[in-house]
Amino acid sequence: MPCTTLLVGKKASNDNSTMISRTDDGHFDVKKMIVVEPKDQKRKYRSVISHVEIDLPDDPMRYTACPSVDPKNGIWAATGINAANVGMTATETITSNPRVLAADPLVVYKKAEKRGEKDMPGGIGEEDIVVLVLPYIRSAREGVERLGALLERYGTYESNGIAFNDENEVWWLETIGGHHWMARRVPDDRVVIMPNQFGMDGFDMDDAFGEKRENLCSADLREFIAENRLDCNQNGVFNPRDVFGSHSDMDHIYNTPRAWFIGRYLTPWSHRWDGENAEFTPESDNIPWSVVPDRKVTVEDVKYALSGYYQGTPYNPYASHDTGKRGVYRSIGINRTGVTSVCQIRSDAPGAIRGLEWICFGSTAFSALLPVYPNVPKMPKYLSDVTLDVSTENFYWGSRLIDVLADHDYGANIQQIERYQSAVMTNGRRIVLEYDRKMAETGDFSLASEANEKLCAMAKEQTTDTLNKVLLESSVHMKNGYNRADN
């Protein structure tokens, strides 16, 4: 599923929190946010797409999820935070190359062709991964280890990147072919940018096969590379992107421009992104996997980066004048996003409320980002009670309606959108600060449910008000409008 991921190490953030974030860019998938209690977690899992069956442990934890409302293709839980304050987002679809896929083919479901033959199950994929991993891990590293073991045993039918975070660490895992994988701990002072490509541009094999402090991988990765002559690196420097990834013409239109836009936003002074002497252009293959941001990164920065459509550049599809380059590259804040999340783990908060999950439905370019406390028995109906029918009674459909109307008449509506996004963020932060203090002072962490209801009531009020305004503005500018003075 085409997505964009942004990871923030503890020392790179303004408040010493870790953050993992991703736009879940399906095809207008209707999404909701729920809490899964241990009693509701199945002990035998069966994938809809690949038909693989997996026995699950008997000790799951409570966790949040953003599943698809229509279950026809499976759960697609997308993202969540569990009761141990471990966050996970899965998955970022990434690229590979024929050399890797021939050496270790993807494990694809095969239906029996003749009577008497059995179907051949496929591996695990985006449909499955959050449900198979998140309820059972107590650290980001454990997430990598559990997922790595599942990949080696069952394989995967697609190439994916997966992120985990706890209060101290962020880890990123990328699959390699059907059964291999590698993972790195994100340096604390860095931010990782991932736009649907194999991303890692460095990896310490000695550490991965030694102390395993910041690098992990499948047990036979060295042999796999050597036996299949996959190493395309020069001068003894190992760059995984050159070994396992791609450098296609499509990457330069669809993927690398997104990394360029986010890198340009986060490091405007330490790197040159524009002009004749630019270090990196929208079509550069060597845009770094991680960067040290020029200033500390906030949740607001993450939201802006993941809402990007090349504003401030010649590639902005909403530019009022034709630059000759308008709309050339794939936007980050794209129309078909189902849900975007920021899993934030705050080291300075009490354990029961250490996790904070920020949720945005629909196109990030026009929708608002709302914080909620994940460690609760259930989510408010405004987030969880979503059907396939359009309604103004939930955050998902309210956001989608605003997106379409604002896009229809961008120039007239963008000011209202900016006010809306700022209002939800400002009031959301105010309510979180209020309840953080209340719960820290009283020790009554059940107040998190009350806080979530208040947050959703605020979001509904702001969303309804903005929907009223953009509907009126877009109605005024309909092409069939006419006044007597027009003749």
Q: List the catalytic residues.
A: 3
Tokens of 60: 């799951």
Dist CA 403 CA 413 (whole Å): 10
Query: In sequence order, what are the residues at sequence separation of 6 or more whose Cβ sits closer than 8 angstroms to the Cβ of residue 218?
Result: 148, 151, 152, 176, 179, 180, 181, 182, 224
Q: Which residues of 420-455 are buried (b: 16+ CB within 10 A; e: fewer)?
A: bbebbbebbeebbeebbeebeeeeebebbbebbbbb
Taking each helix axis from N to C terminus, what angle separates 299-306 and 256-266, rounded to the nearest 10 degrees?
150
**Which among 127, 143, 145, 123 has a CA at the least distance from the CA of 135?**
143
Are 119 and 112 in contact by the 8 Å Cβ rule? The answer is yes
Tell me the pairing of strands 339-345 and 215-217: unpaired
Give phi and psi for 313, each to the nearest 5: -130, 170
Q: If you ran DSSP here, which 8-state letter would residue 82 be given?
A: B
Backbone phi and psi for residue 206, each to the nearest 5 degrees, phi listed first: -65, -40
**Pairing status of strand 170-176 against strand 160-165:** antiparallel
Q: What is the DSSP string of 149-213?
A: HHHHHH-BSS-EEEEEE-SS-EEEEEEETTTEEEEEEPPTT-EEEESSS-------HHHHTTT-S
